[in-house]
């Protein structure tokens, strides 16, 4: 599941604020008229207008009081206003460097109250969905969340299934299956591509594509290619497949965590290429970039976001997170401005190509051990739309 969705302002309007119902908070706001680029009349967008003044990178933002002013390149930055969570703290934000938008992620740090949140660039909550009782026991280790172009939310509950909800929290589509692991993508044809790696065994299907009715239309198993090499492996399953991506050429990128391997599979099920090397340890969330390079998160110490060159698979860029309290890293996404959005257990940060921090959010009240971090820490983050 990739970390960026760009939406037209006409769709942003219905996202800017929490919707009614017991599981949603109301958002204080002001109203600013914004003219959509494809609209003929002004529409109402709930925002806060932030005047332009200077805020150096890595300066602490006190989101518990009055919002700090931020640097913009040419126009006033418009930020959807939200409510404060005292456990979230934005410690660095340069709006001229950042790909400004909202951040969609799962949040498990309060035990027994897992939720999906949408945060503005100040770390304030502009929308949340608290998982109901029938879902809340299926968030470990890490549940993936994606805002779809339709405005609905697709999320993966490990060992439970894949679910899609509207902004009122109603389930509009589901695919229950106890072998679902960590990732699902809604494809352009309306089908859903799903990773299956929870307690999988040799011979099980590790990737499935299902249509809107849940009918299987494509699948792949790692057994033929990998059984001889890894037949004794069993760590939360045989492969513990943790991510899938449909590539532009029609092939599928698959992350086999237990094998420290990323594979590209063609529609006939043949393995086109295998990527495995020193330093690729418990690979998470690989994505193919526009130039064919692969970006992924590795648990080799110190944990890093790594970019590999297409074909040679040599390392051409990385960002190291040295602070062990932020481990494990389980997500790295390239944004349209060239920055990389990286998610660790207690930190989410956006860094430039030359390693400058453009934005950083900390989970400031938690100090997890490694086991707790996998269960309660941040998992993945999607930067949803660029602020108009």
Contacts of 115 (CB under 8 A, 6+ apart): 106, 107, 128, 129, 130, 131
| CA gap 345, 143 in Å, rounded | 13
C-alpha to C-alpha distance for 83 and 119, rounded to whole angstroms: 9
Query: Which residues in 51-71 are b (16+ Cβ under 10 Å) and which e?
Result: ebeebebeeebebeeebbebb
CB 6 within 8 A of CB 385: yes
Q: What is the pLDDT of residues 29-84, one digit of tens each?
A: 322 222 222 222 222 222 232 232 222 222 222 222 223 334 333 345 667 889 99
Low-confidence ranges of the chain (pLDDT < 50): 8-75, 387
pTM, rounded to two decimals: 0.82
Asked, as a colleague might, if the bond just before 247 is cis with ω within 30 of 0, I would say: no
Pairwise CA distance, residues 128 & 24, whole Å: 6
pLDDT of residue 142: 79
- DSSP letter (8 states) at residue 326: G
Task: Report pLDDT for 327.
Answer: 87
Query: Which pLDDT belongs to residue 362?
Result: 95
Q: Please state, for a pLDDT cut of 70, what percent of the chain lies above it.
A: 77
**Architecture field, domain 9-383:** 7 Propeller (2.130)
The side-by-side arrangement of strands in the sheet containing 192-196 is 180-186, 192-196, 207-210, 216-220
The pairing of beta strand 271-275 with beta strand 284-288: unpaired
Identify the DSSP state of 372.
Answer: H
Q: Give the domain ranges of the chain.
A: 9-383
């Amino acid at each position: 599941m990739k970390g960026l969705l760009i939406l037209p302002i006409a769709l942003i309007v219905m996202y800017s604020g929490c919707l009614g119902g017991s599981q949603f908070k109301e958002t204080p706001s002001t109203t600013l008229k914004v003219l959509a680029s494809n609209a003929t009349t002004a529409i109402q967008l709930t925002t806060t207008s932030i005047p332009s003044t200077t805020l150096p990178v890595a300066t602490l933002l006190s989101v518990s009081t009055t919002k700090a002013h931020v640097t913009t390149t040419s126009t006033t930055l418009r930020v959807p206003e939200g409510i404060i969570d005292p456990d979230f703290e934005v410690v660095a934000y340069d709006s001229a460097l950042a790909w400004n938008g909202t951040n969609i992620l799962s949040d498990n740090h309060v035990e027994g109250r897992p939720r999906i949140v949408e945060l503005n660039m100040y770390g304030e909550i502009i929308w949340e969905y608290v998982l109901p009782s029938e879902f809340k026991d299926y968030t470990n280790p890490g549940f993936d969340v994606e805002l779809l172009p339709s405005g609905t939310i697709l999320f993966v509950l490990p060992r439970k299934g894949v679910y899609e909800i509207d902004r009122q929290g109603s389930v509009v589509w589901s695919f229950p299956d106890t072998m679902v692991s960590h990732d699902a993508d809604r494809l352009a044809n309306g089908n859903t591509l799903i990773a299956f790696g929870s307690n999988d065994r040799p011979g099980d299907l590790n990737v499935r594509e299902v249509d809107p009715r849940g009918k299987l239309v494509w699948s792949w198993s790692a057994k033929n290619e990998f059984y001889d090499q890894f037949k004794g492996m069993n760590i939360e399953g045989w492969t513990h497949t943790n991510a899938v991506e449909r590539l532009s050429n029609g092939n599928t990128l698959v992350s086999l965590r237990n094998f420290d391997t990323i594979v590209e599979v063609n529609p006939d099920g043949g393995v086109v290429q295998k990527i495995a090397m020193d330093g690729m340890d418990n690979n998470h969330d690989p994505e193919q970039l526009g130039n064919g390079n692969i970006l992924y998160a590795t648990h080799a110490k110190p944990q890093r976001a790594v970019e590999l060159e297409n074909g040679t698979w040599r390392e051409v860029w990385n960002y190291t997170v040295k602070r062990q309290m932020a481990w494990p890293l389980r997500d790295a996404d390239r944004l349209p401005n060239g920055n990389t959005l990286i998610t660790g257990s207690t930190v989410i940060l956006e860094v430039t190509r030359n390693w400058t921090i453009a934005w950083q959010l900390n989970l400031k009240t938690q100090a997890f051990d490694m086991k707790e971090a996998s269960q309660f820490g941040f998992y993945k983050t999607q930067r949803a739309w660029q602020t108009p």
